[in-house]
Structure 1
Amino acid sequence: MDEETTRSRKLQLRRQLRSRRAAAYAGEDGAARRAREAQQLLAHAAPLIAEVERAVGAASAAGAPAPLVAAYHPTPSEADVLPLAGRLARAGARVVFPAAAGRELEWISWDGDSTFVDSPGRGFGQEPTGERLGTRALEEAMLVLAPAVAVDRSCTRIGHGAGYYDRALRTLPEGARIIAVIHPQELLAPGALPCEAHDVRIPEVLTADGLVSLVTSALS
């Protein structure tokens, strides 16, 4: 598949997937479903929370900064990662959220309690009002909870089309975990999504059905 065909296919898939998501989580019933799934996400994230708590303890004992975790403010139809982000903040992690800064993502600290405000960036929902840490903050991250329109079991992620996360994820230190947070039906079969050379592979996904390693599941 040539580059132009791949991009056209991505655009078509993105529209289809967004339409399905919007229909599935529309109205009061959709909002109630999303709220239930947010609590299921939180429950399935218990191993992540424990890992962050251990890292917080180790950093405290060494007199080092607390571990940094990146999350995102979801749109009304995206998987709701905010309860998990709040839990990680209460565990002592430094939690950051993205904002647009030209072609890059800038990262803003969140204390786990402060309100969010509308972002001026096109396609961005809301952002916290905390300290702005610049575009290189993820160089210190231990965990990134990333949004996605869908992910397939070949570790291919399709995002919202601007490439922000593909650029940001390349700044991560070795050993940092990247976990896409999506709805259960948005984890697709291997090879379902077209992949370009600049796409960053996603090794794990978190849905209301569980935390899945796409690397180990592909080997089983």
Structure 2
Amino acid sequence: MTSQDIENDELKLAKRAVRKAGLAARATLSPVERIERSLALVDFVEELGVEPGSVISGFWPIRDEVDPRPLMDALAKAGSSLCLPVVTGDDLVFRRLEKGGPLEPAGFGSMAPGPEAEVVHPNVVLVPLSAFDRNCNRIGYGKGFYDRALSDLEKLTDLTAIGVAFAVQEVEEVPMEPHDRQLDGILTDRGLLKAGD
């Protein structure tokens, strides 16, 4: 093994440990706490500074994730249109979400509009995560879907990427690789943390 191989293995182990810590902290919240803290996100909707007319990708919560749907509803009421990600192969596509429109399974236990829905390119992406740090670095679930999607969207639009999580998922430091993208902010039940603050 080369020193680069050893370094890569150490980074993978460090990421795995951080992911596990963030998920373990999230799992300590009771169902009622998760609901209350998810609803608290709406209190900070204006801090996001989202322009009316923006196309916002939310996400359908899985397992014990924060539920961004109340926040998404508030953003829609403020004049944004919504979409949800769908896993297609190794990538995400974003389909327009219409209020009351049909949803179908979209991979990993999530739901999204079906193939008849318009594919759009959001300029604001609400990003799920396992853990985050004060520098707005995130670690996801290890498949790289959002890293690839954010990289692709940045080529098409002036993109803002906001992690959405419970405050308990904060860790001291998220190990970063060259392909990992720092987020523009992290919204938790305690407010908005901005990159560079």
**TM-score bin, normalised by smaller chain:** 0.7 to 0.9
Which whole-Å CA distance do the structure 2 matches of 1:187 and 1:11 have between them? Answer: 15
Structure 1: give runs of 5+ residues left out of the alignment. Answer: 57-66
1:179 corresponds in structure 2 to 162
2:3 corresponds in structure 1 to none
Are positions 1:41 and 2:28 aligned together?
A: no
The correspondence for 2:15, drawn from 7, 10, 24, is: 10
With normalisation by structure 1, the TM-score equals: 0.77
SS at match of 2:174: coil
Query: Does the 8 Å contact 2:123/2:157 carry over to 1?
Result: no
Are positions 1:188 and 2:174 aligned together?
A: no
Structure 1 position 132, deviation (Å): 4.3
Report percent identity of matched pairs.
Answer: 25
1:167 maps to amino acid? R
Root mean square deviation of aligned Cα: 2.1
Matched pairs, number: 189
Are positions 1:103 and 2:90 aligned together?
A: yes
Query: Does the 8 Å contact 1:100/1:124 carry over to 2?
Result: no
1:160 corresponds in structure 2 to 141
The correspondence for 1:94, drawn from 81, 84, 91, is: 81
SS at match of 2:82: strand
Question: Structure 1 113/83 Cα, relative in aligned 2: closer, same or farther at 3 Å?
Answer: farther
Are positions 1:83 and 2:70 aligned together?
A: yes
Structure 1 position 93, deviation (Å): 2.0
Structure 1 position 154, deviation (Å): 2.7
Question: Structure 1 112/83 Cα, relative in aligned 2: closer, same or farther at 3 Å?
Answer: farther
With normalisation by structure 2, the TM-score equals: 0.86
Large movers: runs of 4+ above 6 Å:
none
Question: Structure 1 195/88 Cα, relative in aligned 2: closer, same or farther at 3 Å?
Answer: same
